[in-house]
Amino acid sequence: MPAKKKRAKKKAAPKKRAVRKPATKKRATRKPATKKRAAKKKAAPKKRAAKKKAAPKKRAAKKKAAPKKRAAKKKAAPKKRAVKKKAAPKKRAKKKAAPKKRAAKKKAAPKRKAAKKKVAQSVVSPRSVRIRRKTPKPKQKNNQSTQNIKRIDSEKTHGWQVHVCRNGVLKTKLFSDRVHGGKRVALAEAKRFRDQLRADMTQRISPSWQNERDAKTNTGHLGVSYTESRRSNGDVKAYISVTARVAKGRAVNRKFSVDKVGYDKALKQAVAWRKEQLNKREEIERDAASKRLRHEHALA
């Protein structure tokens, strides 16, 4: 760009600044008031003048009507008094009867409560009724005690008491601190005795599900029963059903058809199947018990 043009632009710049548009006056551009407002302003003085003219006439009319109203009230007053006099004795009688009613309500209150309780008990099922019982205080545990070994610290005795219960048989023994030469030595002796006692007692014990019981079934065998079922077409199907507890809280069922094999053969199969399932459970429980003992010996 040539230098002459730049100089000409610089000279023209102040003229541009001077030629700015003048600021518009906001007050001048405001819209005029609406026609309604203008009409209200014009009518306002006329309304005030009309009210002033009508005011004395209203006052005069009120003054004329006032004596008539008073006369009407005076005439109605004796009638109101007579009505009140008639109603007065009834009100007094109610006031006198009020304390008697309260006393009767107080007497009837226990009977009402008893009747409500009876209705509630008849409506509410016995399961939903909550019996409030006193919660027993929790026993204070001795932190020094361990499994099957209890710490005793009384006035005369200080030692460790071993107690092992199996199949309703309880065996106990006290290991005194003074006899065994100290608290730690007595505890070690008590643990050895406990482990030996538990090992001996668990070998003799048979679980409750292995104990022999009287069979209350129609076959004479425990867990085995003869049943019949009628189908929709009228045919009767006979079979022998078996139940065996494979684990604690888990039972297995099976059916052997009498129509296909015969009663004697089906019964033998059912008894053999139940015996097989119980033998499997016995093996599993023995393995679990031996593992538990090994773990306890390792910890000791």
What would the mean pLDDT of 250-257 be, rounded to a whole number?
90
Tokens found for residue 73: 């009230």
Residue 227 and residue 198 in one domain? no
Tokens found for residue 95: 């006031």
- Domain ends where: 172, 204, 236? 204
Number of folded domains that form the chain: 2
User: pLDDT at position 276, please?
Assistant: 92
Residue 154 and residue 184 in one domain? yes
Confidence of residue 185 (pLDDT cuts 50, 70, 90): very high
Q: CA distances (Å), 129 to each of 110, 117, 122, 123, 133, in order? A: 21, 12, 11, 11, 13
List strands edge to edge, sheet with 169-176: 149-153, 158-166, 169-176
- Whether residue 162 lies inside any domain: the answer is yes
- Percent of the chain residues topping a pLDDT of 70: 76
| DSSP letter (8 states) at residue 236 | E
Q: How far apart are CA 189 and CA 163, in angstroms?
A: 14
Residue 226 and residue 274 in one domain? yes
- Whether residue 110 lies inside any domain: the answer is no
User: pLDDT at position 174, please?
Assistant: 92
Nearest partner of 241 among 215, 221, 214, judged by Cα: 221
- Whether residue 244 lies inside any domain: the answer is yes
Residue 233 and residue 294 in one domain? yes
- Whether residue 106 lies inside any domain: the answer is no
- Whether residue 186 lies inside any domain: the answer is yes
122, pLDDT greater than 70 = no
Residue 234 and residue 197 in one domain? no
**How many CA atoms lie less than 13 Å away from 97 in the CB half-sphere?**
6
- Whether residue 48 lies inside any domain: the answer is no
Place of tokens 């518009």: 24
- Structural domain boundaries enclosing 234: 220-299
User: pLDDT at position 23, please?
Assistant: 53
- Whole-model pTM: value is 0.34
Residue 194 and residue 226 in one domain? no
Residue 229 and residue 186 in one domain? no
Residue 230 and residue 289 in one domain? yes
- Domain ends where: 137, 169, 204? 204
Can you list the alpha helix ranges (DSSP code H) found in 124-235?
177-180, 183-204
- Whether residue 248 lies inside any domain: the answer is yes
- Whether residue 274 lies inside any domain: the answer is yes
Cβ distance 288 to 280 under 8 Å? Answer: no
Residue 227 and residue 195 in one domain? no
298, pLDDT greater than 60 = yes
Cβ distance 176 to 158 under 8 Å? Answer: yes
Confidence of residue 94 (pLDDT cuts 50, 70, 90): confident
Confidence of residue 199 (pLDDT cuts 50, 70, 90): confident
